Structure 1
Amino acid sequence: MIPVTILTGFLGSGKTTLLKRILNEKHGMKIAVIENEFGEENIDNEILVQDANEQIIQMSNGCICCTIRGDLARVLSDLAAKKQAGELDFDRVVIETTGLANPGPVAQTFFMDNEIADEFLLDAIITLVDAKHADHQLDEHEVVQRQVGFADRLFITKADLVDDKALGDLRHRLLHMNPKAAIRIVNFGEADIKEIFDLRGFNLNAKLEIDPDFLAEDDHDHDHAHDDHDHGKCDHEGHDHDHAHHHHAHHDDKIKSFVYRSERPFDPNRLEDFLGGILQIYGERLLRYKGVLYMKGVDRKVVFQGVHQMMGSDLASKWQPVEKKNSKMVFIGIELPQDLITDGLDACLA
């Protein structure tokens, strides 16, 4: 399986700078880069010499670049066929979306098309966020909120252009939109390759990372000593401490997340029916969701995750005697009916 990384982020967030860095570094990897352009600008000419007749361009360091002016699935199957035939040699694929793109349909390509799913493995979505302009962009453009909501990892760029308080407030805002994405500060595209590749963000058995700062706010023994970090303007009124109910005082982002936890086991049939119904009704508004579940009568953890209506689940490792059995789920979406979902999940407990 060829791993695929999707790079997304609004116009000017630094995707091309990061891409150049990936392509020019001596890491010994052969990377195929797909530029998902919609005609408004060609591949950055500093990276490539453009050949109008050829959609796929081989670079001197063994990397390959191609521009999509059509269907992503077609370009991927074309690349896979050329690799099998020995015409092209590459180990992994990076897809750079245009700054105006919603990464959802790009991610869905890897679930919908069997031929693509057999050849390629979606590793992670990395979203770049421009520290200087992020607040304005998040307020103005829902697509920027979507890019944050889909991310497995968030890279904050241009952090040198803002002060510590602004950076803390931004980090806090991003955390409330997507607590499962690790946040890194990246200057001038200088990110460690290990922070970009093989993150296994879409691997069912990858650990469910939920930022502990996000959860620290809704523990019953609410320790206000936690509140020094980055919590610039958080409205602590009305927190429903069981279900991580967050209100951000000064940004009413359409895309929000919430975490559900329970130490009681789920009834497998009830849960399956309930999640099936939620996906049917709210699937388009659910961007990403992921969980590790404690199921009645099952001695192993059950992991699940999905994008929109497409959900996968799998049995993971056995519960160890020292482990406290519990379920942890994170939902990221557009104006999700949180109370309805949490009440519904409560009703599925055995």
Structure 2
Amino acid sequence: MKKSLILFLVVISGLISAQNINGRFSSSLYSFERFDSADVSQNHLRAYQMLNLNLNYGDVSIRSYLNFENDFAQDIKNDPRLRFYNLYLEARNILNVGTLKLGRQPIINSVVGGLMDGVSLSLKKADFQLSGFYGGNVPAYQKLELIENFSDNYIAGGKLSTTIINNLRLGIGYLNKNFKPLDYKAIRLDPDLNPIEVLIQNKSNQYQFITGEAAYYLPQKFSVDINYEYDLNFKETSKFEFDGRYEEIKDFGLNFYYSLREPKIRYNSIFSVFDYGNTEEIELGSDIRINENFTVLGQFGIVNYRDDNSSRVGIGLATSIGTFNYKKTFGYAGQLEAISAYSAYTLAEGLITPSAGFSYTTYKLS
């Protein structure tokens, strides 16, 4: 952890003459009691400090996001922990078409989303955009170091998209993510049925997908967003998602959502031998604007599993002083009821914004 702090400070000192420095620091503390049995429990007191710091000089920035945590009531393995979620160099407007990011950075994608240590490049010209990335998975606890066996733990992908047709966006992409499971030792029987210790070494597990997307939008009328994923390893559709909204009627909006999902199974994983099924989800929602201070919300959804189904319903009220919601689910996913309320008020021309929230949830499996 000391080496990570030293490296971070060296990087920061390199841009001490930055034109613009902005960031945020926050600290939080919470406690809880964990029961190991009916009569044995442990009290925990965990503290978190988060730092988000950006150094900017023209079109070049260094972006960082790190977290320090520790338990002051119990000795826990790997505490204290210093997690580096972001630490990368960003160069924008390269030849007026490109943006380059180098270092530990977020990847926003449904298949390989998360963090990576690597490089990403985005090129945009007129109505076309081409982006790609390559890097490695992040070590456990987001340590500031490269993961071992980089060739078995890499991430790669790219996407080409265009808006050449008015109000329409089209895109196609490719994604590849590899995982190398940790080796471990286990007791097995030899040919003479004697127990022996064996080193278990698994192969790298892989995700490999082709993705497609299409979105069409007519202001104050309707919008449609479609996403598709095809699993190249299992040669089947992994996901089809449709999200639409109709709002041509004044003060009234109608939402429709549909998705078909296959479980995302890693190619070399033992889970691929199981007889699994997909899920199908449909939701219909609406919102009615009573006046500038009140909007009523409602939705109803159904999830179809292989041999059963589950339903959910929700109603809400959005007002000028806060939001209020009630949700209920029933069926195969269990019975859940939840109520929540949230309110915030700005004082001193935005300098102070006190807020308060309340939620209550009950759940049972059947």
- Return the TM-score normalized by structure 1: 0.22
More strand by share: 2
- Return the TM-score normalized by structure 2: 0.21
Greater Rg by CA? 2
**Relative CO higher for 1 or 2, CA cutoff 8 Å, sep ≥ 6?**
1
